[in-house]
Amino acid sequence: MNTTSKSAAFWRCESDDCNPNARAESVTRGADTSDADSDTADPKEQTRKYIAVALQQLQGSISRETAEILVRALHRARLQKEPHDKAETLRGALTGNCGNALPTLRVAHQHKAALLEPAFPSLPDELTPCILDHLGARELARVACACRSWRLEAIRIAEHRLRSRRPLGQVRSGINWARALAAEEALFAAVGPRPKHAWWREWAPMRVEEVLLTGQPQRYAHAALYEPRGAMSVMSMLCRYAGGLSWMFDAGWALHQAAACLLIGTFGTAAIGLHLRCGSAKYAASTYAYCDALSARAWSLAAAAPLTYSAIDGVFGLGTTDTVWLMLEDEEVEKGMQFQTSAAVMASVEPVGMQEPQEPTVANAPPLVCFHSELAANGMLRSLLQVSPTNYQLPPLAQITVLYTQAAGEWQAFGRTMRRRCVHVSVSVPY
C-alpha cells in the first residue's frame, strides 16, 4: 500500500475507528506492509512512514493539521539525533519492539476526549520538547488534552513561550497557559511584534486620530495639545483623572496598568480598533499595553460583572469605535449570531437610555446592548472588567454571542420602562 492510499484510508471515518482492536490490527497491518518494502525503500522515507503509522493513534483526538505537524517535527528531530541507517531502531522504539500493535486508544467518555496510556513508551524524553516546539498555542492545547504523557510538557512550553514574549512577574496558579499564549498570538497576528517604545509615545497621534474618527470638535485635533507639555498630555490627563486612578489602585490594579487602561481605554479605542482591523502596527504599543493591563486584571477576577449596558450610537458608542456592532441595528437579528470585536468595549451598569427624554423618536433609535457576564472558565474571560464604580471594559478580539432581544417599551431597568430595543449578548475572550 503506498503512502497516499494509507493516508486516505486513515482519515476516512470508518466503523473500525470505534473499535480499538480493529484499529490496532490495521496499524499492525500497515507496519507489516512497510516491512515488505524495507529492503528497497529509502531509510529516510521508511522512517517517515513508521512515524506516520505511530501517530495514527491520535486520530479523533487532534486535528489532521496537528498530526501532520507532529509527523514532520518528530521526523526532523529524530533524524538530527540518529543516522539514517538506524531507521530500524526508531521503528522498534515506536512499535514497542515486539510486533504488537501500538498502544491502544482509551476513550474517556466522561470528558469526551481520547487519552493515550501510555503514548510512545520507548520514545526518548528529550524528543518531546523538539516535537512540541513546532506547535502553536491552539495545537498545544489540543495535544495536552489528547496525550496525557505530553500534557505537562505542553503546558511548560506554553508558559515559557508566553513569558519570553511579555513580562509577567509573579502570577497566581491555575492559569491556562495555552489560552494565554493564544491571546498573545492573536495580538501578534493582528498588529505584529511588541514595539520597543513605550505606549505614551503614541499618545499624541492616537488622540488626534481618535478625535477625527469619533466626530469630536476640530479644536481638539491638534497634536500640540497632547505633546508632553500640552494641556492634554499623558501627565495632565493622569492628574485630571487622579480620582479614577486612585480607585483602580485601591481595587488592586497595578499602578502602571491602571494608567494604561484608564487613558487608552477611554481616549483611544476607535483609533486602536481601526488599525487592529487593518492589521496595522501604528499603535501596537498602546494595543499591547491595554490588553496586558486587562488580562492581568482578569487573572485575579473573583466575581463576574453585573448586567452592564452600552449604546451603539453616540460619540463613544459601540458602533462609532467598531463598525461590527452596527449589525445589531437590524431588528431581525437572530439568536446565536456571533461576531468578533476589534476595539475595546466600554459599558456601564446604568443604561444610557435612562438619561434620554421619553420621546416617541427614542423607540426608533439604535438599540442598547446588555452584556451578560459570568466567571472565567478554561482560560476564557466571560466577564467585563470593572474600571470604576460604575464602568466596565472588555479587551478587543472578543467573541460576542447574541442571546435574545427585547423590544422597546417591553423591558425595565432599575424600575423604569426603557423605550429602546435591547440586544442581550454574552462575551468570551482568551486571556
Distances (CA, A) of 331 to 24, 327, 422: 55, 9, 10
pLDDT at 304: 94
Does residue 115 sit within a domain? Answer: no
Q: Is the pLDDT assigned to residue 193 strictly greater than 60?
A: yes
Please state the rounded mean pLDDT for residues 13-40.
39
The count of domains in the chain is: 3
Q: Is the pLDDT assigned to residue 245 strictly greater than 50?
A: yes
Within this chain, do residues 219 and 133 fall inside the same structural domain, yes or no?
no
Please state the rounded mean pLDDT for residues 324-345.
93
Q: To 10 degrees, the CA torsion angle through 322, 323, 327, 330?
A: 110
Range of the domain at 143: 60-83+122-165
Within this chain, do residues 226 and 313 fall inside the same structural domain, yes or no?
no
Give me the helix-helix angle, 284-299 and 177-191, nearest 10°: 160
Contact 320, 214 (CB under 8 A): yes
126-170, pLDDT tens digit by residue? 777 877 888 888 888 888 887 777 888 899 999 999 998 888 867
Question: Average per-residue pLDDT in the chain?
Answer: 76
Between 57 and 90, residue with greater pLDDT: 57
pLDDT-derived band of residue 205, with 50, 70 and 90 as boundaries?
A: very high
Within this chain, do residues 295 and 314 fall inside the same structural domain, yes or no?
no
pLDDT at 293: 94
From 78-87, 170-179, 187-196, the region with the lowest mean pLDDT: 78-87
Does residue 186 sit within a domain? Answer: no
From 41-50, 182-191, 264-273, 390-399, the region with the lowest mean pLDDT: 41-50
Cα(405)–Cα(388) distance, integer angstroms: 28
Within this chain, do residues 337 and 410 fall inside the same structural domain, yes or no?
yes
Hunting for cell 521526523 — which residue is that?
75
From 149-163, 215-229, 258-272, the region with the lowest mean pLDDT: 149-163
Is the overall model pTM greater than 0.85, yes or no? no
